[in-house]
């Protein structure tokens, strides 16, 4: 089915749903089928929509994660990979407190909490109970039952990937308990994954003459071993919380292709690329919270993490007879560490005001070691890659002083922040930079009644640099270099955001957000020479768009117990291209394979999530349909386009037998295509003739999961 048609259909559905959702809501209430689905609020605070545990019973939840995924109008965010604590807080609270961890993702934290331990879940859309929103439009708060009993949560699955065959397992177990006044959760897990794709790549000249066909396949084999210990206790007036996390990751990546010439005089070749990587990560966090007076509370956070990347990558190129033409080997050993100390103070001594002061200091380090050896025709030589062996260090201080002023149905959250940092690099490059930025912010909220809110946000945001952008590496797949740049500056963005959220009842919500970003020192790909570029600042740019999110029941269609969740984003952007001097959209230079599906720099993205629960038979089924536009990367002499076609996943689950949840997932039913087009120019991109055009089209095949989970 064409992507354009699906997107048009989706936008049409969004338009229709706004008109029919009120009628659907009235019918759902009249049927009285959903416990807790009435419009009567559980809280008198208009900034909170509260969902009791009985509301989620219809969804047969096993964990707190199952419950959060069913909260209308909310999408859980993973912790940011950026440095610092305030930039990675996410939108999850547990008993009014954020998890004091960065490596432990919210999805993993919630999957370890049995659903039976949850008393209620609150959707918070503005400051309440002295909770700092930290610029988030909404937060989810998991309120746990008091006097937590011993609870054991377990989860396991077997996964079959049809393209590469074989079964890959997962198993995890966690224990929650209160022991001598200490609430704790500890767990360990094991997971293996094996994914890949097969297909062909056509190499053409600038005149569209086919010169070579490459038949290839890629395979990723990964092993994950996570472990955690989270504990908290009151010591008199002091609340103390400890978080320990460990994650060991082993990656094996293989790529092979058979290169067949399509013109006379060419010779067939075979290329093999193999990479192994061990990546252990450790994190320890400590919170101390205390009331310093009747109107003043204080909190101290200490966080330390350390990680390693020890990888070896090899490339072999052979002729048709199996003779070696080229052997390359690259060894990488990177050590990253982060230390954070943070103080938070909340004072409510002035009526209708809540004054907050946050102070944060952070130290980050990346120690990169790189070694490459090339062997050509028995000749062995060491390759110097400039900037690959470097020590990058950053010391940063951050403060924010703000006031939350309650004015009846209006609420004004305004303040001023500042950031000062020193960034130094030694080794292949010797350089030190100093930065200072002001960060004002203002949020005006209007909440005329519980469940409805309009919000205007104006803020200046400063990006957190990725230290890996300062260190060079090789890209064997493209016979290219990914150069580092010691001269990168953080980009600064003025953000204007206007949103309106309307809850028709607890099961129906529509939210529309429009935004505009004015960016100074855009982080993109900066030309360094006629054939090389690096991450860098290319000037000023803009980004603007709209996001629509909605959840509504489908009883009005005759589908009892069914509902649809929709989310879509349309976006455009502009920046002056440093190569051509013309306006173009921003490059997608920050997204990775681990990025959120919506967290890309492209034109549009949408997700349609359908679920139907049969309450009496305790069975549910559903599907997810999603797609997004292509992502572009503008290099000095190349244009790269990556695109995934429409993806369809479905599931069926039940809790009828053995007090466990049994679930079957079928993913990638349409076997979506992974497309990569690489246009290489003879000189500057867009200003010279095309030398080659590489067109890759590969598929990964459907996947099936059998998942068993439960708690005791």
Q: Which whole number is the average pLDDT over 136-155? A: 85
Q: What digits encode the pLDDT tens for the residues 78-104?
A: 765 565 676 666 788 888 888 877 778
**364 or 132, which is more confident:** 364
Lowest mean pLDDT of 171-180, 357-366, 476-485, name the range.
Answer: 476-485
Which DSSP state fits 97? B
Q: What digits encode the pLDDT tens for the residues 616-628?
A: 899 999 999 999 9
CATH number, domain with residue 57: 2.40.170.20
Asked whether residue 380 carries a pLDDT value surpassing 90, the answer given is: no
What does the block give as tokens for 321? 């007879």
**7 or 342, which is more confident:** 342
pLDDT at position 80: 57
Report the percent of the chain where pLDDT is more than 90: 55
Give Cβ neighbours of residue 616 (< 8 Å, ≥ 6 apart).
none
Q: What digits encode the pLDDT tens for the residues 605-649?
A: 999 999 999 988 999 999 999 999 999 999 999 999 999 889 999
Most confident of the ranges 221-225, 408-412, 697-701:
221-225
pLDDT at position 72: 86
Q: Which pTM does this prediction carry?
A: 0.86
Domain count, the chain: 1
Burial 127-139, CB ≥16 within 10 A → b, else e: bbeebbbebebbb
Q: Which whole number is the average pLDDT over 409-421? A: 93
Hey, what's the torsion of the CAs at 117, 120, 123, 124, to 10 degrees? -90
Q: How far apart are CA 60 and CA 53, in angstroms?
A: 11
* Residue 475: Cβ within 10 Å count: 10
Of the pLDDT bands very low, low, confident and very high (cuts 50, 70, 90), residue 181 is confident
Q: What digits encode the pLDDT tens for the residues 194-213?
A: 888 899 999 999 898 999 99
Residue-number span of the structural domain to which 629 is assigned? 3-711
Q: Which whole number is the average pLDDT over 125-150? A: 80
Of the pLDDT bands very low, low, confident and very high (cuts 50, 70, 90), residue 128 is confident
pLDDT at position 394: 94
Give Cβ neighbours of residue 413 (< 8 Å, ≥ 6 apart).
126, 127, 133, 402, 403, 404, 405, 441, 442, 443, 444, 445
Q: Which whole number is the average pLDDT over 308-324? A: 91
Mean pLDDT across the chain? 86
Q: How far apart are CA 115 and CA 129, in angstroms?
A: 25
Q: What digits encode the pLDDT tens for the residues 661-696?
A: 999 999 999 998 899 999 999 999 999 999 999 999
């Amino acid at each position: 089915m064409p992507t354009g048609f699906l997107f048009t259909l989706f936008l049409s559905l969004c338009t229709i749903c706004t008109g029919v959702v009120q009628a659907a809501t009235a019918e759902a209430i009249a049927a009285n089928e959903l416990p807790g689905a009435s419009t009567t609020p559980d809280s008198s605070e208009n900034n909170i929509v509260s969902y009791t545990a009985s509301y989620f019973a219809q969804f047969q939840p096993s964990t707190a994660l199952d419950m959060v995924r069913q909260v209308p109008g909310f999408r859980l965010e993973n912790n940011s990979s950026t440095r610092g604590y305030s930039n990675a807080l996410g939108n999850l609270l547990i008993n009014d407190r954020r998890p004091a961890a960065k490596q432990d993702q919210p999805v993993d934290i919630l999957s370890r909490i049995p659903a039976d331990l949850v008393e209620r879940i609150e959707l918070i859309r503005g400051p309440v109970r002295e909770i700092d929103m930290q610029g988030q439009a909404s937060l989810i708060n998991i309120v746990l039952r008091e006097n937590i009993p011993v609870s054991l949560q377990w989860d396991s699955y077997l996964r079959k990937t049809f393209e590469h065959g074989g079964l890959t397992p997962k198993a995890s177990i966690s224990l929650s308990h209160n022991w001598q006044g200490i609430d704790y959760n500890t767990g360990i897990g094991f997971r293996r994954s094996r994914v890949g794709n097969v297909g062909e790549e056509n190499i053409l000249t600038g005149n569209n003459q086919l010169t070579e066909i490459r038949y290839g396949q890629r395979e990723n084999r990964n092993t994950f071993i996570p472990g955690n210990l989270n504990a908290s206790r009151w010591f008199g007036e002091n609340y103390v919380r400890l978080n320990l996390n460990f994650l060991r990751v082993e990656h094996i990546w293989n790529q092979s292709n058979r290169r067949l010439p399509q013109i006379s005089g060419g010779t067939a070749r075979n290329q093999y690329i193999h990479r192994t990587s061990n990546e252990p990560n450790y994190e320890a966090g400590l919170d101390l919270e205390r009331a310093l007076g009747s109107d003043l509370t204080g909190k101290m956070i200490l966080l330390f993490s350390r990680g390693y990347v020890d990888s070896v990558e090899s490339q072999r190129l052979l002729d048709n007879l199996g003779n070696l033409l080229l052997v390359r080997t690259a060894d990488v050993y990177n050590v990253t560490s982060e230390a954070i100390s943070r103080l938070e103070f909340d004072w409510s001594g002035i009526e209708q005001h809540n004054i907050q002061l946050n102070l944060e200091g952070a130290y980050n380090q990346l120690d990169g070691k790189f070694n490459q050896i090339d062997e050509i025709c028995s000749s062995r030589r060491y390759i110097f890659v400039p900037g690959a062996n470097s020590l990058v260090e950053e010391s940063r201080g951050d403060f924010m002083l703000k006031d939350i002023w309650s004015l009846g149905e209006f609420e004004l959250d305004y303040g001023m922040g500042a950031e000062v940092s020193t960034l130094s690099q030694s080794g292949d490059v010797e350089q030190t930079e100093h930065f200072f930025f002001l960060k004002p912010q203002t949020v005006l909220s209007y909440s005329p009644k519980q469940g409805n809110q309009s919000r205007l946000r104006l803020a200046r945001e400063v990006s957190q640099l990725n230290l890996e952008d300062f260190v060079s590496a090789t890209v064997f797949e493209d016979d290219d270099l990914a150069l580092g740049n010691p001269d990168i500056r953080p980009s600064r963005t003025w953000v204007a955001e206007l949103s309106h959220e309307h809850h028709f009842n607890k099961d129906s919500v529509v939210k529309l957000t429009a935004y505009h970003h004015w960016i100074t020192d855009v982080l993109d790909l900066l030309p360094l020479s006629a054939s090389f570029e690096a991450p860098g600042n290319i000037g000023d740019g803009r980004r603007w768009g709209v996001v629509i999110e909605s959840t509504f029941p489908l009883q009005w269609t005759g589908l009892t117990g069914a509902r649809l969740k929709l989310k879509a984003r349309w976006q455009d952007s502009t920046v002056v291209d440093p190569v051509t001097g013309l306006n173009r959209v921003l490059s997608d230079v920050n997204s990775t394979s681990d990025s959120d599906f919506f967290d890309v720099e492209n034109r549009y993205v949408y997700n349609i999530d359908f679920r139907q629960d049969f309450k009496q038979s305790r069975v549910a089924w559903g599907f997810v349909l999603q797609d997004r536009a292509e992502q572009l990367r503008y290099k000095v002499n190349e244009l790269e386009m990556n695109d995934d076609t429409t993806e369809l996943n479905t599931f069926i689950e039940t809790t009828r037998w053995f007090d466990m949840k049994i679930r079957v997932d079928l993913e990638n039913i349409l076997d979506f295509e992974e497309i990569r087009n690489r246009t290489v120019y003879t000189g500057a991109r867009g200003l010279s003739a095309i030398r080659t055009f590489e067109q890759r089209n590969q598929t990964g095949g459907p996947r099936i999961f059998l998942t068993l989970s439960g708690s005791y």
